[in-house]
Amino acid sequence: MRTQVAIVGAGPAGLMLAHLLRLRGVDAVVLERRSRDYVERRVRAGVLEHPTVELLREAGVAGRLDREGMPHHGISLRFDGADHRVALTDLTGKSITVYGQQEVVKDLIATRVGAGEPLLFEVSEVTVDPATPLVTFTDAEGTPQRLECDFVAGCDGSHGVCAAEVRGTVQAHDYPFAWLGVLAQAPPSHSELIYAYHERGFALHSMRTPEITRLYLQVAPDERIEDWPDTRIWDELGRRLAADGFTLATGPILEKGVTAMRSLVTEPMRQDRLFLAGDAAHIVPPTGAKGMNLAIADVWALSEALDAYYRVGRTDLLETYSDRCLRRVWRAEHFSWWMTSMLHQAPDADDFQRKLQLAQLRYVATSEAAATSLAENYVGLPFQR
């Protein structure tokens, strides 16, 4: 097999890169070890930044997003028993859109399959040679394959094969807590996202559709999901999200799980002709809603660089790809760390630290400058075109 760009991983990063390259006339083959059904069903992030939505529209894959997505013009910081709204659109002129990551993936898969472009699911034994470059794998029928290419895009996550091929520096930070997340068949209890600071720990109220709510609780990193029956989850959410005039809507819990929180950045984000994007290169705690949006920003920059290479022979954008992406990555890492530190209860926190957190929250709630800084980062910084 021969192609111009081999893309390992059919998450939002790999699929969006393949689509952007197709629009620019660059051939690509996408490889994914999971089945199509698994990829389309796995629940991940659900907040799309303004630049992400704009890019999906420019790329012609936002039809269902525009029909079913839920635009939000603010978020609530809940503390001291009340909501303190950060008016995103009033402060920045931009908004966010709630639309599940798996829905973005479904849209991109449908577009690629509909165009008859190569997208291979259930491959195994994938190996990558960054220098040649060459990708070998076994296809779904059990036949060994060799995929020769000009470049490899590693979009297969932090546990994939591509990240291990980069001889760089990995900066990592583990947080002393995790999130217990649930997907519930219940209407949202509030029109916007609620970030709740509480003495028992952080809680987040989000949503996926007008009928499905996504909720999170701060728990210990070693928490066992078996110790959290549905009644305990709803009771704890009710305590942490309590506020005057607020009623928490409940319903059957469809999914639940515990996710550890960590930060990770690989520098550089490339090795020879292998370029990393998304979780293969960096991970952020979910508090700032940056994970999928960073992945989309990465592949936009990579598609631009590959387009310049094939169209006019330019190599400078490929050579500076890592540096350009890492500026945005570290900004997002800092914002996510800041939001996490401000809202969560550390296991060893004393009264001094808790009063510092409340002082910061009250400052954001009462200072237009502080609220604007949060809003600007939350809605997403513009792509450097």
| Annotated catalytic residue within 50, 205, 290, 344 | 290
Per-residue pLDDT of 315-347, as tens digits, reads: 999 999 999 999 999 999 999 999 999 999 999
Cα dihedral: 54, 55, 57, 63 (round 10): -110
Q: What's the average model confidence in pLDDT over 189-217?
A: 95
Q: What's the average model confidence in pLDDT over 147-153?
A: 98
| Annotated catalytic residue within 19, 50, 72, 94 | 72
Is there a catalytic annotation at residue 72?
yes
For helices 368-379 and 321-343, what crossing angle results, to 10°? Answer: 130
pLDDT of res. 175: 96
Whether the ω angle into residue 252 lies within 30 degrees of 0, i.e. cis, is no
pLDDT of res. 205: 97
Per-residue pLDDT of 28-37, as tens digits, reads: 999 999 999 9
Q: Which amino acid is at 100?
A: G
In this prediction, residue 385 has a pLDDT band, given cuts at 50, 70 and 90, of confident
| Annotated catalytic residue within 285, 286, 309, 344 | 286
Residue 286 has pLDDT above 80, yes or no: yes
Decide yes or no: CATH 3.40.190.170 for domain 175-255.
no
Percent of the chain exceeding pLDDT 70 equals 100
Is there a catalytic annotation at residue 286?
yes
In this prediction, residue 227 has a pLDDT band, given cuts at 50, 70 and 90, of very high
In this prediction, residue 126 has a pLDDT band, given cuts at 50, 70 and 90, of very high
In this structure, are residues 149 and 6 in contact, taking their beta carbons and an 8 Å threshold?
Answer: yes
What are the residues facing 194 on neighbouring strands?
Answer: 76, 205
In this prediction, residue 42 has a pLDDT band, given cuts at 50, 70 and 90, of confident
pLDDT of res. 191: 94
Per-residue pLDDT of 102-123, as tens digits, reads: 999 999 999 999 999 999 999 9
Give dist(CA 286, CA 291) in Å, integer: 7
| DSSP class of 278 | G
Q: What's the average model confidence in pLDDT over 80-88?
A: 95
Distances in Å between the alpha carbon of 199 and those of 33, 219, 366?
Answer: 42, 13, 21
Distances in Å between the alpha carbon of 49 and those of 146, 287, 293, 294?
Answer: 38, 14, 7, 10
Per-residue pLDDT of 245-273, as tens digits, reads: 999 999 999 999 999 999 999 999 999 99
Average pLDDT, the chain: 96
Q: What are phi and psi of 208, to 5 degrees?
A: -120, -40
| Annotated catalytic residue within 195, 197, 216, 309 | 195
pLDDT of res. 265: 98
pLDDT of res. 44: 76
In this prediction, residue 41 has a pLDDT band, given cuts at 50, 70 and 90, of confident
Whether the ω angle into residue 268 lies within 30 degrees of 0, i.e. cis, is yes
Half-sphere exposure of 355 (CA within 13 A, CB side): 3
Whether the ω angle into residue 144 lies within 30 degrees of 0, i.e. cis, is no
Per-residue pLDDT of 287-313, as tens digits, reads: 999 999 999 999 999 999 999 999 999
In this structure, are residues 187 and 213 in contact, taking their beta carbons and an 8 Å threshold?
Answer: yes
pLDDT of res. 217: 98
Give dist(CA 301, CA 382) in Å, integer: 12
pLDDT of res. 305: 98
pLDDT of res. 43: 75
pLDDT of res. 34: 95
User: In CATH, which superfamily holds the domain spanning 5-46+100-168+268-345?
Assistant: FAD/NAD(P)-binding domain (3.50.50.60)
Q: What are phi and psi of 6, to 5 degrees?
A: -95, 125
Least Cα distance to 147 among 165, 178, 117, 126 occurs for 126
- Range from 44-48, 132-136, 294-298 carrying the lowest mean pLDDT: 44-48
- Decide: helix, strand or coil at residue 284: coil
Give dist(CA 381, CA 369) in Å, integer: 17
Give dist(CA 29, CA 14) in Å, integer: 10
- Decide: helix, strand or coil at residue 58: helix
Say if strands 5-8 and 28-31 run parallel, antiparallel, or are unpaired.
parallel
In this structure, are residues 303 and 385 in contact, taking their beta carbons and an 8 Å threshold?
Answer: no
Q: Which amino acid is at 272?
A: D
Show me where the domains of the chain are located: 5-46+100-168+268-345, 175-255
Q: What's the average model confidence in pLDDT over 208-214?
A: 92
| 195 Cβ contact list (under 8 Å, min separation 6) | 75, 76, 77, 78, 202, 204, 287, 339, 343
In this structure, are residues 243 and 133 in contact, taking their beta carbons and an 8 Å threshold?
Answer: no
Two tokens, residue 195: 């970030």
